[in-house]
Amino acid sequence: MKNLVILGAGTSGTMMANHLEHKLSNKEWKITIVDQTKTHYYQPGFLFLPFDIYTTKQVKKKSKKFIPKSVDYIQERIELIKPEENKIELESGTSLNYDILIVATGTDIAPDEVEGMDGPMWYKNIFDFYTYEGAKALRNKLREWEGGKLVVHITEMPIKCPVAPLEFAFLADSYFKNKGMRDQVDITYVTPLGGAFTKPKATEALHHLLEEKNITEVTDFNIERVDYENNKIIDYAETEVEYDLLVTVPTNLGDALMERSGLGDDMNFVPTNKATLQTLAHENVFAIGDATNLPASKAGSVAHFEAEILTENILRYIDGQPLKAEYDGHANCFIETGNGKALLIDFNYSQEPVTGTFPLPGVGPLSLLKESRTNHMGKMAFRWVYWNMLLKGRHIPFVSTNMSEKGKELETV
Amino acid sequence: MKKFIANQEIEVNDEGYLTDFSQWCKEVGKTLAEEHGIDMTDRHWEVIEYLQEKHKNEEALSIRGIKKSGVINVKDFYSLFPGGPLKKSTLIAGIPKPKSCI
């Protein structure tokens, strides 16, 4: 009997358990998944929780519920990976041997990377919305907030779901409009990037939306510290932005387990082949989702496409064949723009988001890089798709693993 | 796009970044720096060399990387290349603008 071990039972880990349980013979392979957290969060929901659009119940379920029965489920902290010995050490001192390892430990916020961020004002007037605790604390704050300067801020790239802070700014605009207090709120969007987003075409479209919604942009802002006594953030060029309420996306780091095990880069992300998902250091260790250093968005859609590729490559690896399946960096993201509308972007490593229709060329029903109500309904329907199809590793109809160029208005070079 | 820098014809993109590093030399760097109001000193060149080395090894450039580089601290980096230090220094170094942005 051989052992395949999956570290992490988030979006990627859970999908891999479901895929592999179908594909591997249970006479030859034992699959084990180690979950460090117990609760599975619907992370896209953290965007809606602060605005009372989703309830806490809608965004969390027990992780174990999504793991197939034939897979060994262990709920414990992981102490160390010893790749030279093909061994995992758990916090309790038990160890697990593996023939194949899949690292799916994700990324987490590290507010302590910036001076003054997680000081005495953390969760008083400085919040994140990338954690359940942060999103919930922010919801309670927004319910009673009387207005002032709202600053939505990104500390440094890369971050999970790079569009989420923009969506937060857009949703804040409609939230305060609906409360009849938009005139009492200044919204400023502060980013270390040169523009609203990482890709030029989408940046242009999003810049117009920010203008339209009267949201001020501050770009190229590399934060040095938070002056929590005087309520301002200060960057290395000594530019200051004042806030009454700071909603920040702190530095995102991979699991400290990578640092302890010598498997990560300087942000604890695992150096991974961007096409095959095999780690660069060890041929029987693979990585997926937010845990990798891939130059792709850290997003659920990316994890979903990667899971299909990785499943194929693991089967090939077991058969001693070359790892042929190649991930192209495909990402597909809804961008909530407020007032019941959303944009949709679809892109990969080399092709930036453009306008067009999706998933059916010329038909849609979704439109790319344009605001529509149908896109918003797509985003809302996605919560059901996530819990009921995506985690179970079911293929999403009409959506290909590698990006399709059909139905897109690509520029001819 | 072609540009005439320091008596040489250099290939640049629409943002002014060199597209072929082999066309770079110190004179080119110096002229590009002057265009951005920067008078190059030994300290500047030290940073430029560091950036070129990183680029050669295909390592991504970021403010975090500068912080950990041991070559320069971020404050000094900003004062040497005021405005957008990474954008300006890479332009002078003849290497692509970093896309520390995913």
Q: Is the pLDDT of residue A362 over 90?
A: no
Supply the range of the domain harboring residue A156.
Answer: 110-252
Residue B32 domain-assigned (yes or no) = yes
Q: Which of B14, B22, B57, B101 is catalytic?
A: B101
Q: Among partner residues A158, A192, A236, which is closest to B102 by beta-carbon distance?
A: A158
Is residue A369 included in any domain, yes or no? yes
Neighbours of A40 (CB within 10 A): 23
Tell me, yes or no, whether A142 and A245 share the same domain: yes
- Quickly state the pLDDT bin for B100 (edges 50, 70, 90): low
Say which of A157, A236, A297 has its CB closest to residue B100. A157
Strand partners, A80: A89
pLDDT (mean) for A7-20: 98
> How many residues make up chain A in this entry?
413
As a whole number, mean pLDDT of residues A280-284 equals 97
Please tell me the distance from the alpha carbon of residue A134 to that of residue A144, in angstroms, as a whole number.
16
> Is it the case that residue A413 has pLDDT exceeding 60?
no
Residue A406 counted as domain residue: no
Full strand arrangement of the beta sheet holding A285-287: A72-75, A29-35, A2-7, A100-103, A285-287
C-alpha angle with apex A40: A34 to A43, nearest 5 degrees?
Answer: 125
The interface predicted TM-score of the complex, written ipTM, equals 0.77
Over 50: is that where the pLDDT of A144 sits?
yes
Q: How far apart are CA A304 and CA A310, in angstroms?
A: 10
Tell me the chain A residues in contact with residue B64 when contact means C-beta distances shorter than 8 Å: 156, 266-267
What pLDDT digit, counting tens, does each position of A390-410 carry?
999 888 888 889 999 888 888
pLDDT range class, residue A411, cuts 50, 70, 90: low
Stretch A103-128: mean pLDDT, rounded?
97
Cα–Cα distance, A321 to A302 (Å, whole number)? 25
Give residues with Cβ within 8 angstroms of A34, minimum separation 6.
Answer: A5, A6, A7, A8, A9, A74, A75, A76, A78, A88, A90, A96
Task: Check residue A364 and give its pLDDT.
Answer: 87
Distance CA A289, CA A334 (A): 18
Model pLDDT, residue A105: 98
B101 as an active site residue: the answer is yes
Question: Taking CA atoms, what residue in A is nearest to B59?
Answer: A265
Query: Do A155 and A92 have their domain in common?
Result: no
Q: What's chain A's Rg over C-alpha atoms? A: 21
DSSP secondary structure code for residue B22 in this structure: G
A273 and A149 in a single domain? The answer is no
Q: Are residues A123 and A228 in the same domain?
A: yes
Q: Return mean pLDDT, chain A.
A: 95
For the question of whether the overall pTM of this predicted structure is more than 0.90, the answer is yes
Residues of A within 8 A of B63 (CB-CB) are 156, 192, 222, 236
SS3 B89: helix
Identify whether B99 is part of a domain: no
Residue A96 inside a domain? The answer is: yes
B79 CB within 8 Å of a chain A CB: no
Structure token pair of residue B99: 């896309």
pLDDT digits (tens, 9 = 90+) for B73-89: 998 999 999 878 999 99
Q: Confidence class of residue A198 from pLDDT cuts 50, 70 and 90?
A: confident
Write out residues 2-61 of B within 8 Å (CB-CB) of A.
none
In a shared domain, residues A283 and A369: no
Burial of A131 (0-12, 13-18, 19+ CB in 10 A): middle
How many Å lie between the alpha carbon of A97 and the closest alpha carbon of chain B?
33
